Amino acid sequence: MQRSAVEQKELFTLVNQIFEEIRKDGDKAVFKYNNVFDKVDLEKLEVDEKQVKDASKNVSTELQNAIRLAKNNIEKFHAAQQHKKQVIETTKGVKCWRENRAIEKVGIYVPGGSAPLFSTVLMLGVPAKLAGCKEIVLCTPPDKNGKINPAILYTAQLVGVTKIFVVGGIQAIGALTFGTKSIPKVDKIFGPGNQYVTAAKQVALNFGVAIDMPAGPSEVLVIADDSANPEFVAADLLSQAEHGADSQVILLSDNQKIVEQTLQEIKNQVKVLTRQEIAEQALKNSKAIILKSIDECIEFSNEYAPEHLILAAKKYANYTKNISNAGSVFLGNYSCESAGDYASGTNHTLPTNGYARNYSGISLDSFVKKITFQELSKEGIQRIGPAIELMAETEQLMAHKNAVTVRLKSIK
């Protein structure tokens, strides 16, 4: 069940070193590490408005339509999560309720470079805008020419991103954490990334910046019974393996024939992938495991807590109630993981590395704070005041007791 991992001590030493330089030298350090890691020399970090507008000219009409379709579905799903104020009278004269307030400044990290994930702009930008975030700052690494893929820029403009910066990796997270002359400091950082980005986000917590979740290398676990289509299963496993050499894919089944056929399909399909080398590296960290029953497969999956879980089983409805740990679940032979990555409407920014045991994927709630309110009338304080006085006195907090006592006296 262990994931492939970089030596943690070495990883956090590097992150802390880069963070310290950014805190001290700001943009200068960001430019330096853009050069070190992405091999680009940039004149400026921010993408200007003209570049963003011009990007649409380099995005085909077909792709623009596809992005808009995905945006509409993501908006529908996330808009349904909007909170409706509900006032609860806990005792006569005591009213309590909760209201949402948007996190004002958010940073969204979008992996780029060899695989520019413009879909992540949708997954983070759409709920941020729906929540009412005032500032949405996007950071993404440059390609070898120091440019951002036009599809990322087009999508950023479409969803309402307010600022875009050509910076990736640890240095992007550091800049969003401390703020530089060019890049604003934010209140919360969102977005997936490799183990370096994930470690940087965890360090950002030490400096008072919130993060969405630990979201590192991508992973999928497929549970397949004798009704599964080996061609489909192999395609799903490879769709995650191509993300990165440190990704991991797991196949569980109670049927040896399905496993053997799927492994053969993987050999056939991997040969034609443009990211063949990356996928093959990921497959070295991956496993195909035969267990006695689908129930045992579910039990294993709950222990593993996958980012994506595909239930390629004929009677999947019989098993869903037993799934307790997973980022997002895909049911049946036609629910490919790619649907959730792009256009079904659910969010693809999900907990990885076993964090699905205690974290949820991104939702509208990720971009808001929930503030509680209470309103007590004279009758309300009279009804619960004596209980408060007794509890406060027992805890020896006499000023707490007195805050009630003076009110009760004034009413009498």
Structural domain spans, the chain: 8-90+100-212, 219-360, 377-411
Q: Does the structure show a pLDDT above 70 at 385?
A: yes
Please say if the pLDDT value at position 214 is more than 90.
no
Q: Which residues contact 256 (CB under 8 A, 6 or more apart)?
A: 290
Q: 336 pLDDT band (50/70/90 cuts)?
A: very high
pLDDT tens-digit series, residues 256-303: 999 999 999 999 999 999 999 999 999 998 999 999 999 999 999 999
pLDDT for the residue 5: 65
Q: How far apart are the first and last CA of the chain?
A: 67
pLDDT at residue 6 in the model: 58
**Whole-angstrom distance, CA of residue 359 vs CA of residue 161:** 26
Residue of 78, 242, 243, 308 with catalytic role: 308
* CATH 3.40.720.10 at 219-360, yes or no: no
CATH class for the domain made up of 377-411? mainly alpha
Calculate the alpha carbon distances from 33 to 76, 141, 280, 281 in Å: 39, 11, 29, 26
Query: Architecture of domain 8-90+100-212 in CATH?
Result: 3-Layer(aba) Sandwich (3.40)
- Describe the chain by its helix, strand, coil percentages, rounded to 5: 50, 15, 35
Determine the pLDDT at residue 412. Answer: 85
Q: Report how far residue 276's alpha carbon sits from residue 268's, in angstroms, rounded to the nearest whole number.
A: 11
Cα dihedral value 308, 282, 212, 1, nearest 10: 70
35-86 pLDDT, tens per residue?
999 999 999 999 998 999 898 899 999 999 999 999 999 999 999 999 899 9
- Among 106-115, 238-247, 279-288, whose mean pLDDT is lowest? 106-115
Known active-site residue 243: no
Mean pLDDT of the chain: 95
Confidence at 195, pLDDT banded by 50, 70, 90: confident
User: Looking at the predicted structure, is the pLDDT value of residue 177 above 80?
Assistant: yes
Identical fold between 8-90+100-212 and 377-411: no
Question: What is the average per-residue pLDDT within 93-118?
Answer: 92
Which pair of structure tokens corresponds to residue 399? 């000023």
Please identify which of the residues 265, 307, 337, 389 carries the catalytic annotation. Answer: 307
DSSP annotation of 185: P
Q: Can you tell me the mean pLDDT for 187-210?
A: 93
% of the chain exceeding 70 in pLDDT:
99
- Does 348 qualify as catalytic in the annotation? no
